């Protein structure tokens, strides 16, 4: 793993202040569902990002793809 990838992962793990379970509960809440930029009634951009963050938190660091690292950035 490159030094840049390690730095991105370290910054991501410091920035995310919820566990996957906590984030999942928040995303299911009425407060979460009622905010964010949506197009044609679809899921908000931030909401979709939150679901992606849950997946990232549950993956092993060695399994992260370049796309995962871009999302973390």
What is the DSSP track for the chain? --HHHHHHHHHHHHH--S-HHHHHHHHHSHHHHT-S--STT---HHHHHHHHHHHHHHS-GGG--HHHHHHH-
Higher pLDDT, 11 or 38: 11
Residue 50 has pLDDT above 70, yes or no: yes
- The pTM for the full model equals 0.81
The domains of the chain are located at 3-72
pLDDT at site 53: 95
pLDDT class of 41 with cuts at 50, 70, 90: low
């Amino acid at each position: 793993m490159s030094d840049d990838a390690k730095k991105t992962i370290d910054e991501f793990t410091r920035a995310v202040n919820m566990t996957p379970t906590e984030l999942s509960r928040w995303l299911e809440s009425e407060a979460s569902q009622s905010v964010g930029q949506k197009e044609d009634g679809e899921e908000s951009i931030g909401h979709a990002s939150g679901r992606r963050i849950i997946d990232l938190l549950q993956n092993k660091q060695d399994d992260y793809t370049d796309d995962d690292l871009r999302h973390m950035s």
